[in-house]
Structure 1
């Protein structure tokens, strides 16, 4: 009898432990992304989504009014990369050795490269743009643990674009000493360290561009003589056109990326350069690495705290603008797999793939502000089996079913129901009620509504409509110098949303003394209060 009771007690303890572990894993936001498996992808090739009845007659009627977009097959490689290459922690995507790479198909090898350079391995909160936004600039990790200090050393070894503006910013902003250090077989990184009388022995920032396989020898040399271990931040541009890059070249690139990982460098940010965009993969990427072994271990990540609403109202316009831009350009949530859904250029949006894998199927996406471009809407529906509801009161086409899982309505977001241009605007409460989505979680709510965000988003927060929205994407329009604009950021923060990505729109830059400021900036939020029952 005692033995039976003991067995029963042990079973109860194990069950309680499992429940606690399960609850923690499903309701908390870990800094480390979960291990991802192809089997988790909703679009798995062996488990295709059920077809939705769709009469294309209306869509064909408006076809000429919509900007054409063809979804490239598996553009973000969610189907192509096998399970055993997906990881977690600071290695979310594993690069195999050459022997294993040579056994893989060209498609898998290609995907490994393009996904590896667009996957984040380590968190940096402040990505400080030095130089120009449009092209001639770089992001520098400005976290206290990595930020360049006075008398810092910057080596400029990039040939892809002029770096004068970047150099000027590093001198004025961080008080760095900047050197032009072209790298070759005769002029190595180690030789430049010696020639510049670098008594501290480390390089705070090294810029570099690689345009051919012959230039990969620069990386080989830096790794062999350990000089790359003296670099705190490596800002690297890789230029390889997918149309002319074969499997062997991709293998050579992956080998060098594997080498950089092995000596401690970790990817903290990336930029899919717009001028290099194609329908599927980019021709070039800017990839940002930091060396954790060289960080200031007494310091942490950057954090921007917003004051109370009463104190915000006491600030002047310049103080508000400084705080506004500092806040929206400091990430607060760690997402590792960032996928560009839709056009790589204007029209696409960056999705936190980590979180989308947790959403139930079929997920729901609300997309406000499309005008004539539904590339994001079409692709997010195809990638995640989502039901997508697109809205815009300014379109030349009327309400209709655009695709098998995409519905368009000529209505927009507002703080009240009223006529607006060709259609109407309404609060989110009314829109959700009309679609019978009051109790349905929304995986993504995206809004590019040309300034209407300042009135409609407070309405959504005050009516609790964002509580069951997992990811919130907003394009903010304005100079960021009014109290109400900063107060809205405070309201979004207090509602539990944290920034995981942002994009400075180069078409809207202003203020020549601060070239990185833009009147239209995409800011991507994750809802940290989103309930596990919704996913």
Structure 2
């Protein structure tokens, strides 16, 4: 029996099919079922403007600062009574007070080798679109997978590397002619004051001095791994831009986009105790730097068994100024 004859003989089929077709068209017109559910929720960070996202993240971060003070009161009750790495009973370490609570509003990804040497970077896709960008790397130690991948993925970038303990970048750059053309190495040290006269071994430069020598007024990516010298060096960097005290009026925006740093909270740095470390960290925060990633250096703990975990990798973004990570129209 033909389909037409079937409809004529069983008119109920006609009604059923008509209803089915109508329901299908209505469903397609409304789109996927999940759309209504998603739209009923608060907009995601990708649906909001960059300024709105940064503002909301800052509000969340301010809550973390409040929670930090509560934790100090719990284990202190003042900062000078808190132990950075308590030997027993107190269930915390220094790093529990300084968590990476600020979410980068862009893609966050691991750049460089897995394990020691690689770093977590915010918004590399935005930096890579710039015609020019500047990378500073302090502490090479014969391994340059981080710097090499940045150069490969961001053709407008150049890197300036400094390390007095080696003679060049690592093989990842030195064996690649195209990358080596955009890489500039100097066997110098980063420090809180300049000491590069005759007989200085090694020559020491402040970060503002190096920027002046190189003709730079902004650093897109700053990597610092200088075995404890980061505390005094960055203190002077902040002071140079009027940001030497957590409660001082905000000066001009710090001229960096983000910073990847290994922090050495160990003896000899002056910051192996909680109170001076907290003061130093708060200087970074007062300058607009917000931590978005952290990981302890467990390689160090594994190699020197029984030591406290006083080395940690942190990634900060600068939430102020006008640069690729905070400006909608920056390119």
TM-score class, shorter-chain normalisation, is: 0.5 to 0.7
Decide which of 18, 21, 30 is 2:53's aligned counterpart. Answer: 30
**CA 1:344 to 1:519, structure 2 compared with 1: closer, same or farther past 3 Å?**
same
Q: Specify which of 226, 236, 239 is matched with residue 462 of structure 1.
A: 239
SS in 2 for 1:485: helix
The alpha-carbon deviation at position 482 of structure 1 amounts to: 3.9
**Any conservation in 2 of the 1:499–1:525 contact (CA below 8 Å)?**
yes
1:303 is matched with which residue? 64
Give 2:159's aligned residue: 388
For 1:330 and 1:397, the matched residues in 2 are separated by 32
- The reply to whether residue 413 of structure 1 matches residue 190 of structure 2 is yes
How far apart are the structure 1 equivalents of 2:254 and 2:113? 29
2:208 alignment partner in structure 1: 429
Indicate conservation of the 8 Å contact 2:137/2:161, yes or no. Answer: yes
Larger radius of gyration: 2
Output one character per residue of 1:319-374: Cα deviation in whole Å (capped at 9) or x when no partner: 55558412333422244522222211211111113674486322111111112112
Shift in Å, 1:485: 1.6
Cross-structure match for 1:503: 295
Q: State whether residues 505 and 520 of structure 1, in contact with CA within 8 Å, keep that contact through their aligned partners in structure 2.
A: yes
More helix by share: 2
Task: For residue 500 of structure 1, report the CA deviation from its aligned partner.
Answer: 0.8
Q: Which has the higher strand share?
A: 1
Judge conservation of contact 2:127–2:133 (CA < 8 Å) in 1. no
- Count of matched residue positions in the alignment of Structure 1 and Structure 2: 236
**Match for residue 530 of structure 1 among 318, 321, 325:** 321
Q: Is 1:365–2:135 an aligned residue pair?
A: yes
2:310 maps to: 519
Q: State whether residues 260 and 314 of structure 2, in contact with CA within 8 Å, keep that contact through their aligned partners in structure 1.
A: yes
8 Å contact kept, 1:365–1:389: yes
Contact 1:371 1:395 in 2 (8 A): yes
Decide whether the 8 Å contact of 1:359 with 1:443 is kept in 2: no
Residue 394 of structure 1, CA deviation: 1.5
The structure-2 alpha-carbon separation of the partners of 1:397 and 1:529, relative to structure 1 and needing over 3 Å to count, comes to closer
The within-5 A match list for 1:468-483 is 468-479=255-266, 480-483=272-275
TM-score (norm 2): 0.61
Change (3 A) 1:467 1:486: same
Structure 2: gaps of 5 or more residues = 1-47, 86-91, 175-179, 243-252, 267-271
CA RMSD of aligned residues (A): 3.8
Residue 490 of structure 1 pairs with residue 282 of structure 2: yes
Per-residue CA shift, 1:146-174, capped at 9, x if unaligned? xxxxxxxxxxxxxxxxxxxxxxxxxxxxx
Identify the residue that residue 79 of structure 2 maps to in structure 1. 315
